[in-house]
Structure 1
Amino acid sequence: MTMTDQLTRSPSALRVVLATPLYRGATLALFFSGLGFSAAAPQIARFIVDELGGSLTVAGLYYLTNLTALAGGYFVGRRSDHTGRRLGPFRFCAMAGFLGWLGIAFSTQLWMPFAISALVLAFAGAATSQLFAAIHDELQTNPSPAGDGIVSYVRMSLTLGWVVGPVAGTFLGAQLGLRAMLVATAICTLAQLLPLGTLRDHTPRAQATTAHNTDAPSPKTHVSLKAMGPLLAFTGLYILVYAGEPIKYAYLPIYMNDQHYPPALSGAIIGIQPLVELILMPAAAVVARRTGMLNLMVLGALFGVGANAIFALSASPSGLLIAQILMGGVWGVFAGLGIIVAQRLLPQAVATASAIFISAPAVSSALGGVVGGIGVGAAGLPLVFLAPSALALTAAFGLLVLQTRLGARI
């Protein structure tokens, strides 16, 4: 059978997503998740300053509360792998997100958003990891040659939410106030529950055969730190790549304003990245079948090296636009394939793997904040972007080493 015949007979990933209740529901749920979180993220610092009287320095410290998401995600993921249940923990985490954002919306004291974020919203992000674990289980039960494409399409909906959310959040904040915007974020977080309705977990094939095969893996399999080594290494390298994002979003708008770019031009430069990312995500899944996922991620990290170098060395709008297109290439690869790689690096505990990987941006935000603050003080704008370029180069080298050690595994 030729390659053309195989592609012709292979089911369309998009068709499978639309036809399968879990995939279809997860796609809509992740859109609501991305929409809500991204609407609040750019506005929460202004809420702390304008509504609660905090200083800019105190508002910046709020983002450090995201670090608890790593512990919360790990706890939920480990519990999920222990029981084999995904959608129950997903619903718990979505409800935690709803209550957390609602609590922040009605906060009257400066300490309240910090406490709520650290203690309640720490579990909200794990809702996403539970959905990807459920999708993995479904693919184990009903394997599909379009599996990677299915995950990529579902992941695209989360990115689409992050495209729409900041615009919607800005509009709601301006028209109805920041508290109303945060209430809307809470509603979007709760809306994750609707597309999945009363859908129940599918028992993975490995679990279903346990009664007939004593060697089959059990949901209660203990995962050692050594077994998690490749996953932790991959996640650490992903953190290095992602650290450029908080630096870019903190300082690129300031730089463009200092250069007196028209608002429409600045918006076009910022907005081109997620559009390129959405276009490239399904293509990355196809290309990775030929090149290998980690090999493609090495290229993606090198795109990040080039993009940040252009930010640092180019003062022209066309240069910044090219850099943003390259950044779209970075996230077209990492956003589309990262969760798949994480799960394959720890197949006996996919919920734990998903939670650790998806919690990584919180650590990246803290790292990016520290590196960006030190870098802008030492080198100023736009040379601060040489720092994330160096981090991405380190990540590219590390991914190449990881790929060499894992061989054909990924």
Structure 2
Amino acid sequence: MTLPDEIEATEPALDEPLAHPSALRLTMSSPLYRGATIAVFLGAVGFSAAAPQIASFLVNDLGASLRAAGLFYLTSLTAPLAGYLVGRRSDHTGRRLGLFRLCAVLGFVGWIGVAYSTQLWMPYIISAVIGAFGGAATSQLFAAIHDQLKAHPNPHNDGVVAVVRMALTGGWVIGPVAGAVLAAHTSLRTMLIATALCTLAQIVPLGTLRIAPGYGDTSQSQPIAPTTKAMLPLLAFTGLYVLVYLGEPIKYAYLPIYMTKQLGFPAGLSGAIIGIQPLVEIILMPLAVIVARRIGMVRLMVIGAAFGIAANICFATTGTAAGLFTGQILMGAVWGVFAALGIIVAQRLLPTAVATASAVFISSTALASALGGAAGGLGAASIGLPFVFLIPAVAGLLATIGLALMVRTDR
């Protein structure tokens, strides 16, 4: 399995640094990049506002048991399939923004359906069937951005992707707080309606903007579906990414319980520990792009995955506020690397079908959330807290080894 040379090669960004605008200026000057930045922010705010509240909605409004509410997250297992189908269609037609708008509308319909559900089975079916396609909207934006960047080469192109990805992370910082406040002052159904409106509002920043079908793809006028062999590097990388991501649902489910029930931390301290990660992540994203130009993207990801191992060991063994802060800072470094660079690597591993690559990679987080939730539940029941965090540490070790092998194979 061979990685494209451009993943590990140093970008020629330092040759003429004054001849090109910065990544931020480049992003703000382009209607596509600027609109995509705002759109992914709105989508992330909406989804992250609902994610922590959906179980409460199922229990309090529809009478679900705690076990049934937990099973709702398994509906995300359909997201990779929906993403692949949308991505394949996008690569065949080249109409990224049209499919983006369609997916955003489907996402809106899905969340409205969940908000107005009157029977327990309804949110499960709606989320698995309609909501899965709504989640593919973001991948189409990244595919459109890739096409535009390819058509207009610039040393700061990777920085543009990082800026858009930072907006996505910023939405995840704001969304959970906004969702909790809105639900507390109105109702859970109102909060879900607000999520639906944020999902639909993604369309607004891009307006009626159009780009030429297959923009930037000069290899063939009628792209064909990639073969299984061609997709193997992408699938291998995505599988390793799933192993890295596995710890996130475990951490968000059990770290607050561990801090409150067993360590007796006050709410303010617990909130500060949880909140430090996205702050570190946003700060480190631009730095990750710069470092990757010098040492290579996948090589930097090996280091990032190793940070994840150390972070989960901190969660499992320290039992102090300083240890948990250290773990969260290390985890922020993990996602500063993977959030900024993951989508770029995925697209370069399948350059003839970037929409498919984007969809497969982005939808893999839903798969990782479902697997992580299941692993965390079984681990918490068998080995308890805090040792459940050793499960993502082992998964991170496997990911680190796998990524190192990818670099070694390419070399």
TM-score range, shorter chain: over 0.9
User: Are 1:130 and 2:134 counterparts?
Assistant: no
| Deviation string, structure 1 residues 106-137 (Cα, Å, up to 9, x no partner) | 11000010010001001011100000000000
Which residue of the partner structure matches residue 266 of structure 1?
270
- With over 3 angstroms needed to count, the CA separation of the structure-2 counterparts of 1:397 and 1:5, relative to structure 1, is closer
Contact kept? 1:31, 1:160, Cα under 8 Å: yes
Instruction: Give the distance between the partners of 1:138 and 1:29, measured in 2 at CA.
Output: 17
Q: CA deviation at 1:149?
A: 0.4
User: Are 1:240 and 2:250 counterparts?
Assistant: no
- With over 3 angstroms needed to count, the CA separation of the structure-2 counterparts of 1:149 and 1:3, relative to structure 1, is closer
The runs of at least 4 consecutive aligned structure 1 residues that moved more than 6 Å come to 2-5
Which residue of the partner structure matches residue 353 of structure 1?
357
Instruction: Give the distance between the partners of 1:194 and 1:126, measured in 2 at CA.
Output: 17
User: Are 1:166 and 2:176 counterparts?
Assistant: yes
Q: CA deviation at 1:31?
A: 0.3
Contact kept? 2:45, 2:175, Cα under 8 Å: yes
- With over 3 angstroms needed to count, the CA separation of the structure-2 counterparts of 1:68 and 1:7, relative to structure 1, is same
User: Are 1:16 and 2:26 counterparts?
Assistant: yes
Report 1:2-401 matches (<5 A): 6-204=16-214, 207=217, 216-258=219-261, 259-401=263-405
Report the residue type matching 2:258 in the other structure: Y
TM-score (norm 2): 0.95
Report the residue type matching 1:107 in the other structure: S
- With over 3 angstroms needed to count, the CA separation of the structure-2 counterparts of 1:204 and 1:286, relative to structure 1, is farther
Instruction: Give the distance between the partners of 1:373 and 1:40, measured in 2 at CA.
Output: 21
Instruction: Give the distance between the partners of 2:381 and 2:13, measured in 1 at CA.
Output: 55
Contact kept? 2:108, 2:200, Cα under 8 Å: yes
CA RMSD of aligned residues (A): 1.3
Unaligned runs of 5+ in 2: 1-11
Name whichever of 146-155 and 197-206 sits farther off.
Answer: 197-206
Report the residue type matching 2:85 in the other structure: F
Report the residue type matching 1:116 in the other structure: I
| Deviation string, structure 1 residues 56-96 (Cα, Å, up to 9, x no partner) | 00000000000101110000000000111100000000000
Contact kept? 1:253, 1:266, Cα under 8 Å: yes
- With over 3 angstroms needed to count, the CA separation of the structure-2 counterparts of 1:28 and 1:205, relative to structure 1, is closer
Instruction: Give the distance between the partners of 2:14 and 2:368, measured in 1 at CA.
Output: 42
Instruction: Give the distance between the partners of 1:219 and 1:294, measured in 2 at CA.
Output: 31
Unaligned runs of 5+ in 1: 210-215
| Deviation string, structure 1 residues 203-236 (Cα, Å, up to 9, x no partner) | 45654x5xxxxxx323422310000000000000
| Deviation string, structure 1 residues 152-176 (Cα, Å, up to 9, x no partner) | 0011101000000000000001000
Report the residue type matching 2:290 in the other structure: V
Which residue of the partner structure matches residue 4 of structure 2?
none
Q: 1 or 2 for the larger relative contact order (CA 8 Å, sep ≥6)?
A: 2
- With over 3 angstroms needed to count, the CA separation of the structure-2 counterparts of 1:404 and 1:103, relative to structure 1, is same
Q: What's the secondary structure of 1:261's corresponding residue?
A: coil
Which residue of the partner structure matches residue 212 of structure 1?
none
Contact kept? 2:13, 2:156, Cα under 8 Å: no
Contact kept? 2:91, 2:214, Cα under 8 Å: no
Contact kept? 1:206, 1:217, Cα under 8 Å: no
Instruction: Give the distance between the partners of 2:112 and 2:104, measured in 1 at CA.
Output: 12
Q: What's the secondary structure of 1:131's corresponding residue?
A: helix
Instruction: Give the distance between the partners of 2:123 and 2:22, measured in 1 at CA.
Output: 44
What percentage of aligned pairs have identical amino acids? 62
Instruction: Give the distance between the partners of 1:320 and 1:134, measured in 2 at CA.
Output: 39
User: Are 1:404 and 2:408 counterparts?
Assistant: yes
**What is the aligned residue count?**
399
Q: CA deviation at 1:37?
A: 0.3
Contact kept? 1:140, 1:204, Cα under 8 Å: no
